[in-house]
């Protein structure tokens, strides 16, 4: 870890650039924001639903001082390719996008920081391609095997994740967009009712813009993001369905053999703190940082704290 001095912490934030695109060999076009100069060590920030690259603004400004900090729009979001078909969002393809992005940017390894759906993708990436990942930082995103087990056997988790089945239904994107994205904004408010301070003003305008970017071939702007839920095999049983059978999953395939920091806001309504129980069985080199008052949106609520935790995990 680089020594953090007073001078380092007072350095002016790095300038953030966007409207940059990477054309991947698989045909996907990924938009990304970045800070810092190519050639410095790469740190990749991977967002979740319903966000986009700008979710990592505070991290880009901080880590662009010492790294080439890159935050892509995942496929299906904002300015990246947004195919309309759910099968275009299979986990294998989402991992492939990031593996190819790292290489197109000219790197063989990087540090990865990921949240929510970005974390789901990057758990898989780190398990399948450990040689690419120097350090992994996961923020409020459950390990795939532990999540599958909870969805199959834990009634409390099944209830907490019931919203996934609603999102999988036809027309959910139109409902999310109605009344100036009222339901999408409600996802960010939690039980508070009022919009959180971090989402006010220009940030809200930016999110509305990202949520309005049309999909490929005239598809709805939100179809790509919702397709993550339609394509995943991991969801709670709908009414009348039996619980998912995880007996065919090999736990050994989900072991992550890279140094990993997991940051968990424990006041997450959909992803309770019980999801980190047993994580050490799948991540031999694990540091777990619990934030009792933090919600699912902890990267926005306490960005300076998150930055310090990430900085402490760097090689």
Residues identified as active-site: 116, 229, 296
Distance between CA 140 and CA 232 in Å, rounded? 18
- State the CB neighbour count (10 A cutoff) for residue 107: 17
| 3-class SS string, 55-97 | HHHHHHHHHCCCCEEEEECCCCCCCCCCCCCHHHHCHHHHHHH
Which residue reads 């006010």 in tokens? 200
C-alpha distances in Å from residue 21, one per residue of 30, 70, 74, 106, 214: 6, 11, 12, 14, 17
Collect all residues with Cβ–Cβ distance below 8 Å to 303 and sequence separation of at least 6: 58, 59
Cα angle 253, 257, 260 (rounded to 5 degrees) comes to: 120
Three-class SS of residue 223? helix
C-alpha distances in Å from residue 58, one per residue of 3, 55, 300, 302: 20, 8, 8, 10
Which residue reads 């790469």 in tokens? 42
Output the six-digit token pair for 8.
Answer: 């380092």
In sign, the C-alpha dihedral spanning 97, 99, 100, 104 is: positive
**Sheet with 16-23, edge to edge strand ranges:** 16-23, 29-35, 68-72, 42-46, 110-115, 133-139, 260-265, 286-291
Output the six-digit token pair for 232.
Answer: 């995943």
């Amino acid at each position: 870890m680089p020594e953090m001095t007073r001078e380092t912490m007072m350095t002016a934030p790095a300038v953030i650039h966007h409207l940059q695109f990477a054309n991947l060999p698989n045909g996907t076009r990924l938009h990304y924001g970045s800070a810092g100069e190519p050639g410095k060590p790469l740190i990749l920030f991977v967002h979740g639903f319903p966000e986009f690259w700008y979710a990592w603004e505070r991290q880009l400004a901080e880590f662009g001082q010492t790294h080439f900090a890159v935050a892509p729009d995942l496929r299906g979001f904002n300015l990246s390719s947004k195919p309309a078909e759910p099968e275009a969002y299979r986990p294998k393809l989402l991992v492939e996008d990031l593996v190819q992005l790292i290489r197109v940017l000219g790197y063989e390894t990087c540090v990865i920081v990921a949240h929510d759906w970005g974390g789901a993708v990057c758990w898989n990436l780190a398990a399948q391609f450990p040689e690419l990942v120097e350090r992994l930082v996961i923020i409020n995103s459950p390990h795939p095997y532990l999540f599958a087990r909870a969805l199959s056997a834990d009634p409390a988790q099944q209830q907490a994740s019931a919203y996934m089945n609603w999102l999988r239904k036809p027309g959910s994107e139109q409902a999310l967009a109605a009344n100036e994205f009222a339901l999408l904004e409600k996802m960010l408010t939690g039980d508070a009712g009022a919009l959180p301070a971090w989402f006010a003003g220009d940030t809200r305008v930016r999110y509305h813009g990202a949520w309005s970017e049309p999909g490929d071939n005239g598809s709805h702007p939100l179809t790509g993001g919702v397709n993550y839920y339609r394509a995943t095999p991991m969801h709670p049983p709908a009414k009348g369905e039996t619980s998912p059978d995880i007996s065919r999953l090999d736990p050994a395939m989900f072991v992550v053999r890279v140094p990993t920091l997991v940051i968990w806001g424990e006041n997450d309504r959909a992803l309770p703190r019980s999801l980190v129980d047993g994580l050490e069985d799948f991540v031999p080199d694990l540091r777990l940082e619990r934030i009792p008052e933090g919600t699912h949106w902890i990267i926005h609520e306490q960005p300076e704290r998150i930055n310090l935790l990430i900085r402490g995990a760097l090689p």
